[in-house]
Structure 1
Amino acid sequence: MRVLITGITGPVGSFLADYLLTLDGLELFGFKRWRSDPRPIEHLYGRVTMLEGDIEDPFSIGQAIEQVRPERIFHLAAQSYPSESWAAPIATMRVNVEGTLNLLEAVRRHCPQARVHIAGTSAEYGWVEPADVPIRETHPLRPLSPYGVSKVAAELSGLQYHASYGLHVVVTRSFNHVGPRQGDRCSIQTFCRQMALIEAGRQEPVLHVGNLEARRDFTHTADVARALWLLLEHGTPGEVYNLCSGEATRIGDIVELVRQQGRVPVEVRVDPARLRPADEPILAGDNSKLRQATGWEPRIGMAQIVAELLDYWRARVV
């Protein structure tokens, strides 16, 4: 079976490739931009066939789909940072909406029997009242960022191609996923990287943080990878599934875990520059639909996530 991952250099893409390589009978292909950082996938060369192009270019993704004619496609390529979308809303729309349409058109033309996963986000839900938590897939979509809006449009595009052309499209609304190889834009990553810098004597003993009261649902990228494969094999086409742990953790409590697992004492200081123009107070998902469809459940908790990330950044800042 031929499997294609777009956005393979991203944190989920590389972990998904790791997981798929443990399965029998798969031929794995990755689609990446030529300028993407290759370090997260260096260990995959020789085991995964890499194709270069740009999801915004219909010719390059069309050529890749025609060449591979995959039977399973995981569409992870995206501008995936809400904070960046405020500074570059049009670029975010182009990557996330036009890029998804370019992929769907290529599938429709060259391999309409392929099963396609489209990665959405909990940011599509936007403002949620505490009484509506945990959030179910039937909750209204009221995104608060250009990123969230772009993902709503990408999701609806995928569902439209299922309804109009019969493509086997399954959508996930992923809540926060976290793990090594992710860079330092995610809140937990910034905390752990700062702690590693402080331990190495390269930063003053102050953890600079944003909104500590927000509560988020985090899932390790290795758990996400397992869920994606199971869902594309067992999920119902034309359906949307929350991909989440089902538990919301206060950001301030994660900071405290970083402090406890750190090797030196630190001060915690709120940095106004790290506060967003709009920030959902709580995002926690109901994952019962995913569990029922696949039997999946998360295995890695927050304490282990923090420990892994501290070790990851310690190895990179010395």
Structure 2
Amino acid sequence: MRRILVTGAAGFVGGHVLPLLAATGARVAGIGRGAPRGLPEGVAYESIDLLDEAALTAFVARFRPTEILHLAGLASVGQSATGPGQTWRVNVNGLMNLVAAVAAVPGCTLFFVSSGEVYGSAFLAGHALTEEAEPLPRNTYARSKWVGEQVLHDLLPRIGVKLVVLRPFNHIGPGQDERFVVASFAGQIARIEAGRAPPVLEVGNLSSYRDFLDVADVAGAYVDLIGRSESLADGSVFNISSGVPRTIASVLDGLRARARVPFEIRIAPERVRPNEIPLAAGDASRLHEATGWQPRVAWDDALTRVLDDARARLAPAEG
């Protein structure tokens, strides 16, 4: 039986991928910081910090995974800019601890969740990038992920562990926190609708084009690839992306059309990133060829899910 370990299982994507993995019939375990939002039946979970090398090593040796989906890490570009030291500690030191732990389970496959952010300045080409593009990361978060890829390419062959690198682009959905742009818009709209904030929505740069997916499609891509782990080549790299760049302004327009009350839009200087890439999009043809994957959640449905989730989060405090 497959034994699949998910790190960062209590996070945004973990909550969506665990039920899909459990439905495959595999034995599934998750580790992370804090408690998950809801644990599928039959899935084991322990609260373990990746920086706790002893606890991590003991858990991996005990569970002996055949596949590991490494979601854990600091994923916010903005947070990495204000706390670069912590980003490097979690995203690289934590990864090194995981490498030390998986030395006990040669033959397993590590699916490393990197990021489309690693392409950085390569996006200046102005079109959707394939995995052949040279990564030129432009921020701390992206650099930590690119270094993580290099660390794994160097170390995993020495311990007999196969590597598959996943480079997801922007994804949205229920459970995402407001450090991310679409969740921020939805949260602000929900508070305005509930009368808990003035009718003014703060934004950053709205002209940039980004590649968005619903988190359900991203989780589905992970599960599809894990299901084919034996046939994937060591060192494989897969973009997970829609290939359809959208302006942030168009995303906001879609949410505004779903809002129950009118509001003004105000540019907040602290939300504007300097030297923003004008267009960032990925070509996921390799993923489609390997698994048949393609996005299934309609964009309108994805936006509705995000806004409904933001409203639901306010509901417990009402009355």
Counterpart pick for 2:96 among 70, 80, 101: 101
Of 85, 90, 104 in structure 2, the residue corresponding to residue 90 of structure 1 is 85
C-alpha displacement at 1:130, in angstroms?
A: 5.0
Q: Which residue of 1 aligns with 2:106?
A: 112
Q: Is residue 123 of structure 2 the alignment partner of residue 126 of structure 1?
A: no
Instruction: Give the TM-score normalised by structure 1.
Output: 0.94
Corresponding residue of 2:13: 12
Counterparts of 1:88 and 1:130 in 2: how far apart (Å)? 26
* CA distance in structure 2 between the partners assigned to 1:118 and 1:278 by the alignment: 28
Match of 2:166 in 1: 172
Deviation at 1:79, TM superposition (A): 0.6
Shift of 1:46: 5.0
How far off is 1:254 after superposition? 0.4
Residues 129-172 of structure 1, C-alpha deviations (whole Å, 9 max, x = no match): 55451111111211111111100011111222344343111001
Unaligned runs of at least 5 residues, structure 2? none
Matched, 1:266 2:263: yes
- Alpha-carbon distance between aligned partners in 2 of 1:176 and 1:313, rounded to the nearest angstrom: 18
The answer to whether structure 1 residue 56 and structure 2 residue 56 are counterparts is no
Residue matched to 2:29 = 29
Structure 2 residue 185 is matched with structure 1 residue 185: no
SS in structure 2 opposite 1:171? Answer: strand
1:275 aligns with 2:238: no
SS at the partner of 2:55?
Answer: helix
The answer on whether the counterparts of 2:3 and 2:67 sit within 8 Å (CA) in structure 1 is yes
- Output the CA distance in 1 between the equivalents of 2:224 and 2:216: 13
- In 2, distance between residues paired with 1:101 and 1:211? 36
**Greater displacement, 1-10 / 51-60:** 51-60
Aligned: 1:69 with 2:61: no
- In the alignment, which of 256, 281, 304 is matched to residue 253 of structure 2? 256
| Cα RMSD (Å) | 1.5
Is contact 2:115–2:166 with CA below 8 Å preserved after alignment?
A: yes
Of 205, 221, 229, 2:223 maps to: 229
Residue 60 of structure 1, CA deviation: 1.8
C-alpha distance in 1 between matches for 2:227 and 2:41: 26
1:303 positional shift: 1.5
The worse-fitting range, judged by mean Cα deviation, of 234-243 and 167-176 is 234-243
Contact 2:115 2:145 in 1 (8 A): yes
Q: 2:13 is paired with a residue of what secondary structure?
A: helix
Alpha-carbon contact 1:163-1:238 (below 8 Å) kept? no
Instruction: Indicate conservation of the 8 Å contact 1:168/1:237, yes or no.
Output: yes
- Show the counterpart of 1:146: 140
Amino acid of the structure 1 residue aligned with 2:5: L
- The residue aligned with 2:243 is 246
Aligned length: 311
Corresponding residue SS for 1:216: strand
Amino acid at match of 2:281: A
Structure 1: distance between partners of 2:294 and 2:112: 20
Partner AA of 2:29 in structure 1 = F
Task: State the TM-score, normalizing by the size of structure 2.
Answer: 0.93
**Does structure 1 conserve the Cα–Cα contact (< 8 Å) formed by 2:10 and 2:37?**
no
Contact 1:7–1:76 under 8 Å retained in 2: yes
Identity fraction in percent: 35
Give the alignment partner of residue 155 of structure 1, picking from 140, 149, 156.
Answer: 149
Task: Assess if the C-alpha contact under 8 Å between 2:110 and 2:164 holds in 1.
Answer: yes
Matched with 1:205 is 199
Q: Give the Å deviation of 1:268.
A: 1.3
The answer (yes or no) to whether the contact 2:18–2:40 under 8 Å persists in 1 is: no
CA distance in 2, matches of 1:152, 1:171: 10
* SS of residue in 2 equivalent to 1:217: strand
* Separation (CA, whole Å) in 1 of partners of 2:157 and 2:24: 31
Is the 1:243–1:290 Cα contact (8 Å) retained in structure 2?
Answer: yes
